Structure 1
Amino acid sequence: MSTTTDHQKAFITLFESTARYHHRHKVFEDFVSCAVAAIHNKICHSDTLEAEYMRIIKGYEREDLLNMAHLLSYVTLGLAEQPCDFLGSVFMQLELGDKYRGQFFTPWPVAYMMAQMNFTGTGRKLREQPFVTFYEPACGAGCMALSFAAVMEERGWSPDEHLWVMVVDIDPLAAGMAFIQLALNGIPAQVRTANALTDAPPRRILHTPMHYVGNWQTRLNHIPHLTESLPL
């Protein structure tokens, strides 16, 4: 039986042999952008994402485009095996993080421990209200939100029904990775490409499929004090 580690190794092996005529970081960035477009547009079409997708694939040979589809399948399978930060982990294993804006993603065991520590009281809140919200600035690949959702599910609460997440990162690549992983984990979320330390308008706002499927905009609008504090 394959494990998440097996899928990560398969991802890395395939990635290293994909589109060697481009810089490794560009290939990873383009893979993430194409995956975001494919996942998002399946449930809510965006002309902007579609145009970006079409622009990117023109620069790749057919075999490499097929490889990118297989890369996404490894991410999907790896996340299905067990809760983890699949993309954050392979990003660091590929040594892309320390060469790109000094990014170092939080290891899953650390994030999971922090989620367990911060879950205290959440169960009590969920017995008094239908859902809780989670905000993660400088989210990277969304590791903290993913670990919180994992702990919530372990405690008997379904994240797709009882959790809404907002994550923010200034780096479009990081925000894209967070979107992919939150979407594939079935977590209702808003993903912002923005500077969490300023009031500058976000460069991009995306919602995961479960945000739409679960009618979360309506659910959030029914809580006045929440909609006043969250930039929806």
Structure 2
Amino acid sequence: MSKKSAQRKHDLTADSAQKELVKLIQSFSHGHRLHAVFSDFVELSALAISNSVDRAQFETREKRYLDIVGKYKRDEVDRFPQMLGLLVESFEQRVAVLGKQTSDGLPVSGGLTDVLGETYMMLGLGNDRTGQFFTPYSVSRMMSMMVMGDVGAEVARRGFIRVSEPACGAGGMVIAAADSLLAAGTNYQQAMHATCIDIDACCVHMTYVQLSLLHVPATVVHGNALSMEVWGTWYTPAHILGGWTFKLRRRLEADLLREAVAPERQPVAEAAGTHKIDAEATFAAEAETSDVAVLERDLVTAVVERSAGDRMSLADLFEQSLASGTRERTVFDTIDQLTLF
């Protein structure tokens, strides 16, 4: 989408808060480059949100926050919280639309959108030389509706679904996935976790801010999905407060253990005359009434180590690399797990 097309779309679809946000960003144009202002705005917003919940990275990110605001005059610094307030207001207006119903009693669809991504493209800040292009939200939502399908059964069976976006941009595809779940009557805040990766720091900050404001449980990685390099990690408030580090670890261990045990159960079931058996359902049912549910940690770890190499998804690989990194364990990791109980 060209800048002119993005401008026309913005004029037609932007709400009042989004239009005021654009005006405030443009008010910096006399003394600063708009790309630098926008990048600093989303990073400052990301830092402020992160420092309210992720205490393990507080000192480093607080220093970074002070370094950024040091580049601006006092009256300019005061505009940044106003801009964040307008972004929040824009999402609040759109979320309010989701609570309405059509004449047929169905929820209104398409209430959410990629506010920051649309603003970024409308201001002409995309990097054409590197092929940077943000998919229009209408296209993202159409794709998500096609891909998500009927996820109700999956959520009922597994508790939640996982979404992986290796080149997340501003997070539009993940927002569209959340929008699709809402349209299907499923609360994405409880039934979806996203792992988002991008090589561009500004994109990482945009994604983190938008998913945080929409309370999407997510791990947003500043890294390279091809080389598996990681330069920074951002956990949304929904991820930390919802105990998702433990939930994801438990899901991975259960999946790998189930896959390791299921092949051994199949011949036994067939010998007993049971056909078309659902090994996963059998395992889940037995886990509730047997010692499988309380297997010793070393057994689970052994199965994970043996099976992880060729069974992990991209999201799993990033989660494991982050969990087994050099960051020291803090009391907040324990709190993260205790929130489940």
One-letter code aligned to 1:209: P
Contact residue 197 and residue 224 of structure 2 kept, 8 A? yes
CA distance in 2, matches of 1:35, 1:107: 23
Deviation at 1:109, TM superposition (A): 0.4
Aligned residue in 1 for 2:39: 29
Query: CA 1:133/1:42 → structure 2, altered by over 3 Å: closer, same or farther?
Result: same
Aligned residue in 2 for 1:204: 232
Q: Following superposition of structure 1 onto structure 2, how do residues 100-139 of structure 1 map, counting pairs within 5 Å?
A: 101-139=130-168
Deviation at 1:99, TM superposition (A): 5.2
CA distance in 2, matches of 1:4, 1:209: 27
Deviation at 1:4, TM superposition (A): 4.8
* TM-score, length basis structure 2: 0.64
Deviation at 1:5, TM superposition (A): 2.3
CA distance in 2, matches of 1:178, 1:213: 18
Q: Does 1:67 align with 2:79?
A: yes
Contact residue 4 and residue 81 of structure 1 kept, 8 A? no
Contact residue 191 and residue 207 of structure 1 kept, 8 A? yes
Q: Work out the percentage of aligned pairs sharing the same amino acid.
A: 31
Q: Which runs of 4+ in 1 moved over 4 A?
A: none
> Could you say what the CA RMSD is over the residues aligned between the two structures, in angstroms?
1.7
Larger Rg belongs to: 2
More deviation, 48-57/220-229: 220-229
Q: Which has the higher helix share?
A: 2
Contact residue 193 and residue 202 of structure 1 kept, 8 A? yes
CA distance in 1, matches of 2:220, 2:119: 21
Q: Where in structure 1 are there 5+ consecutive unaligned residues?
A: none
Q: How many residues align?
A: 229
CA distance in 1, matches of 2:231, 2:146: 33
One-letter code aligned to 2:77: L
Contact residue 54 and residue 235 of structure 2 kept, 8 A? no
CA distance in 1, matches of 2:82, 2:17: 11
Aligned residue in 2 for 1:216: 244
Where relative contact order (Cα < 8 A, 6+ residues apart) is larger, the structure is 1
Could you report, residue by residue, the CA deviation over 1:156-209 in whole angstroms, capped at 9, with x for unpaired residues?
11111111100000000001100000000000000011111123x211111000
* TM-score, length basis structure 1: 0.93
Q: Following superposition of structure 1 onto structure 2, how do residues 1-232 of structure 1 map, counting pairs within 5 Å?
A: 4-18=14-28, 20-45=30-55, 46-82=58-94, 83-98=112-127, 101-199=130-228, 201-223=229-251, 224=253, 225=255, 228=308, 229=312, 230=316, 231-232=318-319
More deviation, 44-53/91-100: 91-100
CA distance in 2, matches of 1:18, 1:159: 36
